[in-house]
Amino acid sequence: MDKKFTVKIPKAFTISRIEVENYRVKTFYFTESLPSQPGQFAMVWLPGVDEKPMSINSAFPFSISFAAVGTFSKALSNLNVGDKVGVSGPFGTFFPYKGKKVLLVGGGYGVVPLRFFAEEARRKGIVCEAIIGAKNKKDIIFDKRFEKEGCKVHIATDDGSIGFKGTAVALAEKLLKEEKFDEIFSCGPEMMMFHLSKLGKKLKIPTYVSAERYMKCAIGICGACTLGGQMCCRDGTVMVSDIPLATEDFGKFQRDKSGKKVKY
């Protein structure tokens, strides 16, 4: 039969190394690998706590970066080298290798898959420049990691505590006037991706976003992550921006655990 599905039964992965990125973000490297592409995600299970989607930061070895913000991520953050978590995946779509020069625009943990892309792109001779957006200087992560992959890095903070004062989208608009890019790839808060999609459309630059919704099954069947009939976990998360822009949902509302609409 036409095999398009990913088995979803967690296997134990062992933490081999931990790097602290900032006051609340850590990167866990594991002993195991998970063959996958930039933009794909894994389901990470902490027995007795929860199981949540996490962007893949690297495949060989497998690694994730996460912010300790709530019940699950704080419990994860408390683990040490040698501890095990359950991992299944990879799930979802990934960023295409098409353009020769790509603008990466990341906010929050959105920088994670974009960094993975920058690493793969470099090997394929694709030039990337990265915009990292955050509220404040202390929330900027991965700037050094992007530089390590040979990317020119631009920083935007809401309060101007470092780099450009304003949103990542405003900085992208400025940059796109000065330089030519073949594509825009974005991952981060939905309103950022929404405005960037509209900008890409205006400038006729193909734009890919990583659309996220509350996820349960991760395999495209339960419907929890619907974005106007597109399942973010299987038809996404990476989608060419025309698809989310054509829905009634994108940039307007998301859904809670029960499926009720929650306005942005």
Ligand X SMILES: Cc1cc2nc3c(=O)[nH]c(=O)nc-3n(C[C@H](O)[C@H](O)[C@H](O)COP(=O)(O)OP(=O)(O)OC[C@H]3O[C@@H](n4cnc5c(N)ncnc54)[C@H](O)[C@@H]3O)c2cc1C
Nearest to 36, CA basis, from 238, 239, 229, 214: 238
Interface with ligand FMN in residues 209-228 (CB under 6 A): 221-222
Is 72 an interacting residue with respect to ligand X (CB under 6 A)? Answer: yes
Picked from ligand FES, ligand FMN, ligand X, none, the partner binding residue 93 (CB below 5 to 8 A depending on kind) is none
Picked from another protein, ligand X, ligand FMN, none, the partner binding residue 109 (CB below 5 to 8 A depending on kind) is ligand X
Is 136 an interacting residue with respect to ligand X (CB under 6 A)? Answer: no
Smallest separation (angstroms) from ligand X to the CB of 178? 30
Smallest separation (angstroms) from another protein to the CB of 225? 9
Nearest to 180, CA basis, from 102, 98, 106, 95: 102
Is 71 an interacting residue with respect to ligand X (CB under 6 A)? Answer: yes
Smallest separation (angstroms) from ligand FMN to the CB of 7? 15
Quick check: 2 and 55 in contact, CB under 8 A?
no
Residues 6+ apart with CB under 8 A from 183: 98, 99, 102, 103, 205, 206, 207, 208
Interface with ligand FES in residues 196-215 (CB under 6 A): 215
Could you tell me the end-to-end alpha-carbon distance of the chain, in angstroms, rounded to an integer?
A: 41
Quick check: 218 and 8 in contact, CB under 8 A?
yes
Is 11 an interacting residue with respect to another protein (CB under 8 A)? Answer: yes
For ligand FES, the closer CB: 51 or 129? 51
Nearest to 130, CA basis, from 156, 104, 155: 104
Is 14 an interacting residue with respect to ligand X (CB under 6 A)? Answer: no
Interface with ligand X in residues 51-70 (CB under 6 A): 52-55, 64-67, 69-70
Is 145 an interacting residue with respect to another protein (CB under 8 A)? Answer: no
Is 79 an interacting residue with respect to ligand FMN (CB under 6 A)? Answer: no
**What 3-state class would DSSP assign to 124?**
coil
Residues 6+ apart with CB under 8 A from 264: 190, 191, 251, 252, 253, 254
| Residue from the set 160, 223, 242, 253 that interacts with another protein by CB under 8 A | 223
Is 223 an interacting residue with respect to ligand FES (CB under 6 A)? Answer: yes
**What 3-state class would DSSP assign to 85?**
strand
Q: Give contact residues for ligand X (rule: CB under 6 A).
A: 41, 52-55, 64-67, 69-73, 108-109, 112, 212, 215, 237
